[in-house]
Structure 1
C-alpha cells in the first residue's frame, strides 16, 4: 500500500496525500492551526482556524486527528465517517507548535485542565451532557498527568500548589459524576464520587449523589450511611430527608423479612 495513503485504526478516517508538505514536526495538543478546506461535501469554513484539543463534537475531534497527521503545507483528501460520511480536501497552511503534552509544566497543564472544565460547564448548561462529560474527563487526564512525588509530596509543583491541583481534580470528578447522575448510570456515579472523596472527603454534593446512586442500586445500607452524612452537614436538605425516610423504611422492611425468615426456620427445626 502506498505511504501516501493512511487509514485510522477504527477505519473512520481515510487519507490520501495529494502534495507532500515540509518535513519536521506535526501539530499536537494545543497547536493553533490554519487550514484551507476545499471540495467539501458541506460547509466546513468554521474550521479554518482551530486549536488541537479545543474543537467540539465528534466531527471536530475527527478533524483534529486529520490535522495531526499532516506536515505544514501538506495537502490531502480525507473521508471521515461520523454518523454520516464527510469528504474534503485539507491543506495545513501554518501552525504554531505548543510542545508535546508531556513537555508541559504543571502550570500549563493546570490551566489547560481548568479550560477543559469551563468548556464542560458550558456544554452542561446547554444540555450537551455527553460533550460535557468528554471535557471533564479530558480535564481529569490532564490534571492527573502532573507528576507528583508520592513518597515525599511537595507543597508546590512549578508554582502550582498541590492543594489547588487536588481541588481541581475533585471538581472534575464531581462534574463527571454529575453527568452520569443525569444519565442515571448509578454504578459510574458511585465510582466517580468515590474519587471525589480522595481529594475532598466531606464533599456535600458527592455525598448526596452517591447516596442516591446507592439507593437506586438497591444498596440501602450504603445509601443510609451517605444520607446521614449529607444531613449532618445540611439538616434542611428536603430531598435528602425524603429519600432517607424511604431508605430507612426499606432497611426496616429488610430486617422484618429476615426476622420472619429466622422465625420460620426455628419453627421448622422445632417441628422435626
Structure 2
C-alpha cells in the first residue's frame, strides 16, 4: 500500500479470522460473494449498511479493518493491537493512491455501517514484488473492513486547487449566486499552522472577487449555516480583503498552501433588475408563493426612500394603510416599479435606483444626476386583473370598452363638487396619458398625439404629455412640432433625463432627414437638366 497502514504480524488475528470464516459459512447463503469490477476483486457482505449512499473519489473515509494473507499470516488490525487494546480507526482519502487499489475500489462500494470481507488479488495489492519481508510476491490479501463514516471532499476547481470538506451541514437546499451578498466567518492558516487571517463577520458581494478566491468559489457551493474546511493551493490563496487591503502579513510568503475554516452565516439574494447594475434589489425577507405583480395589477406597498447621505427623501404608506398604485402605469419611480414587479407578496427588499431610472418621478433639483435613490420597500399585497385568456367573450368585450372609455366615466357631472371636479380632472389626465402610451405602442401615432393634446388643453405644463406627443410627432416626421414640444418640456423640467435623450434622438433624426432630402435633390437636378 502506498502510504498504507504499517502492517505488523498479529497472532491474535488468527482467532478473529477463524471467527470470520465461521460467520461467513453461516451467512454465505444470505450474502453471497460477488465480484467487483473485472480484475478479480471479490466482496462478501457481513453486515449491511444503514444508508443508501457510498463515498466518492476524494472523500475522507474512516474505517476499522483486519487483514491477513490468504492461507498465511495475519496482518495489522485497527480494532486491537498486540496488547488487545482498542486502537483508533484508519482515515484516508479515497481514490488518492493513499492505499492499495483494491481498497480504493472496494471501499467505494460500501455504505455507512457496512462490514464486508474483501478478497484482493495480487494485481490490486502488491503484485509480483510483494512487500518484503511481510508480504510475499503474488500474495492474495483478505481484509475485514467496517465503514464507520466519511466526509465528503469535493475538488471545486478540477485541478485539486481547492478541496472542500464539509464539517457541518447547512440548512435547506439553496446556495448563493454570483450577485449575492454573503456574510461569513473564516480562519486561514499556513500548512505549518500559523494563523494569517481571521474574521468573525466578513460581508461581501461574491461577484466582486475582492477576497480570497478560494472562499469566493467555495461559498457558492455552501448552504446557510454550513461549515467547511478548505485545502487551498497557492494560486487560490489570499489577495485582498473586503477593504482592498492584503490579508497576508508581509513577512509571510503569499505563495503558500493554506487551510481555511469557513462558515457561511447567511446571505442576501441580490437581483440586477436592469442587467446594468443601475437598478439592484437586495432581498431582506423572502415573500410568499411564486406569483408577482404584472401589468395593471393593483399594488399595495410601504416604502421609504433615502438619499446617498442617508437622509429620508420620501415615505409612502404604512402596514395599516399601504400606498396603492396600478403597476406599469408610471405612477411611481420607474426603477422602483421595475423592482416591485419582481417581488412576491410579503417580500421586503432594499432597492437601489440609479439616476438613469428615476423617470418622471426624479425629484429634480434635489437628487444629483450622479446619485442614487435607496428604497426600503415591502410588498404588502397585490391583485391581478383577470388574464384575457381566462375571460369569456362577454368579459373581453366589457374589458375593452371599459379601457376604451375609461376617461368618460369621470367626465364632469353637474353633481360634482369642486373637490370631486379636481379629482376627476386628475384621473382623466391619467387615463388619457395611459391611453396615449398604449397608442404609441400600437403605432397609432395620430391618435396618441390627439390624446396628449387633450391633456395639454387642461394642463399646459404637463411634461409627460409633451414628451409623448413629441414621440408621436417624430414617428410621422413632424419634426418642427416635435422640437417645439421637446423645448417646452425642457423649459418646465430641464433635468429630465428622458426628455434630454429624446431631444438627442430628435436631432439625429433631423440630421438624417436633411441628409436624405439633400441626396434626393442631388439625384433630381441632374435628371431635370437633361
> Is the structural similarity TM-score above 0.5?
no
Between Structure 1 and Structure 2, which shows a larger proportion of helix residues? 1
TM-score w.r.t. length of structure 2 = 0.23
TM-score (norm 1): 0.41
State the structure with bigger RCO (CA 8 A, min sep 6), 1 or 2.
Answer: 1
Q: Give 1 or 2: higher strand fraction.
A: 2
**Structure index of larger Rg:** 2
